[in-house]
Amino acid sequence: MEELRRYKEDVEEAKRIRRERADWNFINTLPPRLRIAVLYYIETGDLYVASRIAGMKMEEFNELRRRAKVPSV
C-alpha cells in the first residue's frame, strides 16, 4: 500500500511540474487538436497517446512538446 501511495504522489508531482513549466501562452495559440494533445500530455505524461491525438509521429509531437516548454518528467 505504501508503494501505491508513493507512486500516486510521484505522478501528481510530475503533473505539477509539467503544468508549472509549460508555456501556456504558446499552448493557447495552438489549433484545437494540438492544444488538446499537449494538455493530455501535461496531465498524463503519455507521449504515445498524445502524439496520436495530435495526428503526429512521436518524434514530431516531442518537438512540439519542447516548443511548448513542457518537460519530460
pLDDT at 15 over 90: yes
| Stretch 33-45: mean pLDDT | 98
Q: For all residues of the chain together, what is the average pLDDT?
A: 97
Distance of CA 56 to the CA centre of its chain: 14
Residue of 6, 73, 9, 2 whose CA lies nearest to 41: 73
The amino acid present at 4, given as its one-letter code, is: L
DSSP-based three-state secondary structure for 22: coil
Q: How is residue 2 written as a grid cell?
A: 505504501
**Residue 68: is its pLDDT beyond 90?**
yes
Spatial distance between the Cα atoms of 59 and 72, rounded to a whole number of angstroms:
13
Confidence of residue 1 (pLDDT cuts 50, 70, 90): confident
Question: How high is the pLDDT of residue 53?
Answer: 99
Q: Tell me the average pLDDT across 42-61.
A: 98
